[in-house]
Amino acid sequence: MIASRRQLLVGVLAGLAGFSALARAARAGGPGAVRLGSQPASLPDVMFSEAMTRDRILAAQLAAAGMRLDEHPFAKGREMVGQLAARTLDVALFGDMPTIMATLETDLAVVGLVKQTFSSVVGHHLRSMADLKGLKIAFAPGSTAHYTLMQGLHAAGLGADDVTLVPMEISEMPKALAEGRVAAFAAWEPAPAIALERDAKAILVHRGLNASFMVMRRQLVNDQPKAARAIAAAFLRAVNWMRMSGANLNRVAGWAVEAGLRFNAAADSPVTARQIAEITRRELLEVPAAPSIPARLFADGQVLHREFEFLKDHRIVPADSSWDRVKGSFAPGLMAGIIADGRSAGIDEYDYG
Partner 1 sequence: MVEDADGIRLSFRSRLILGFGALVVLTLAAVGAATLYGVPLLGTQGLVDEVVGNELNRLNVAADLKKATIETWLRERRANLLVLAGSASLQRIATGIGREETREILTETVRNYATGYDGLDAVMVLARDGTVLASAGDPVSLQASAARTALEQAFSPGNVESMAMVAGGGDEPLLIMCRQVFAPGIGTPIALVAATANPATVLTPLPGSRKWQGGSSEAYLITEDRLLLTPLRAHLQDGSTAQPMATRIETVAAHLAAEGNEGAQVLPDYRGIPALVAYRHLRLSPDLGWGMVLKTDQAEALAPLRQGMWHMALAGGIGLALFLAAAALLATAFTRPVRQLAAAAQRIRHGDFSARVGPQTLGEFQSLAKSFDGMAARIAEWHGELQRELDARTVDLRHERDRSRLYLDLAGVMLTVLRPDGSIAEINQEGARLLGADASRLGGADFFGFLAEDRREALRHDFEGVLAGPQGGIREWETQLTTEGGEHRTVVLHWVALRDGDGPAWGALASALDVTARQETQRQLAASEARYHTLVEALFEGVLLFDATPTVIACNEAALRIFDQSEPELIGRRLKDSPWRLVSDTGQPLTVDQLPAMTALQSRQPVRNVVIGIDRPSGRRTWTLVNAQPLFTPDDDQPQGVVASFVDITDQREGIDAQRRLTAELKRSNADLEQFSYAVSHDLQEPLRMVASFVQLLERRYAPIIDDDGREMIAFAVDGAQRMQKMITDLLEYSRVHRKGEPFAPLPVGEAVDAALFNLRAAIEESGARVSVGDMPTVTADRGQIIRLFQNILGNALKFRSPDRPPEVTVTAEPAEAGWNILVADNGIGIAPSDTGRLFGMFQRLHPRDRYPGSGVGLALCRRIVERHHGTITLHSPGEGQGTTIRFFLPDNPQEVPP
Name the site residues for partner 1 (rule: CB under 8 A): 113, 116, 118, 127-130, 148, 151-152, 155-156, 205-210, 286-290, 292-297, 303, 306, 336, 338-343
- Is the separation of the CB atoms in 63 and 117 below 8 Å? no
Contacts 24+ apart (CB under 8 A), 256-259: 256/40, 256/43, 256/46, 256/47, 256/50, 258/50, 259/38, 259/40, 259/46, 259/49, 259/50, 259/73
Q: How far is the CB of 268 from partner 1 (least distance, A)?
A: 28
Name the region of 112 (left: φ>0; alpha: ψ -120 to 50; beta: rest): beta
Closest CA to 21 of 79, 107, 100, 69: 79
Distance CA 37, CA 49 (A): 8
CB-wise, 177 or 303, nearer to partner 1?
A: 303
- Closest CB 87 distance from partner 1, rounded Å: 30
Separation between Cα atoms, residue 147 and residue 204, nearest integer Å: 16
Minimum distance, C-beta of residue 186 to partner 1, in the bound complex (Å): 12
The DSSP code sequence of 69-96 is EEEEE-SSHHHHHHHHHTTS-SEEEEEH
Question: Nearest to residue 192, comparing CAs of 126, 101, 123?
Answer: 123
Q: Nearer Cβ to partner 1, position 7 or 116?
A: 116
Q: Which is nearer to partner 1, 85 or 130 (CB)?
A: 130
- Smallest distance, partner 1 to C-beta of residue 209, A: 2
CA 292 to chain CA centroid, Å, is 17
Q: Which is nearer to partner 1, 263 or 298 (CB)?
A: 298
CA dist list (Å): 216 to 6, 232, 314, 318:
36, 10, 27, 23
- Cβ proximity to partner 1: between 40 and 291 the closer is 291
- Output the smallest distance, CB 261 to partner 1, in A: 31
Of residues 2 and 247, the one with the C-beta less far from partner 1: 247
Nearer Cβ to partner 1, position 223 or 341?
341
Judged by beta carbon, residue 322 or residue 344, the one nearer partner 1 is: 344
Query: Is residue 138 a contact partner of residue 177, using CB atoms and an 8 Å limit?
Result: yes
Whether the CB-CB separation of 113 and 297 falls below 8 Å is answered with yes
Task: Supply the minimum distance, in Å, between the C-beta of residue 117 and partner 1.
Answer: 8
- Compute the least distance from the CB of residue 189 to partner 1, in Å: 14
Tell me how far, at minimum, the Cβ of 248 lies from partner 1, in Å: 16
From residue 127, give the alpha-carbon distance in Å to each of 130, 161, 206.
8, 20, 10
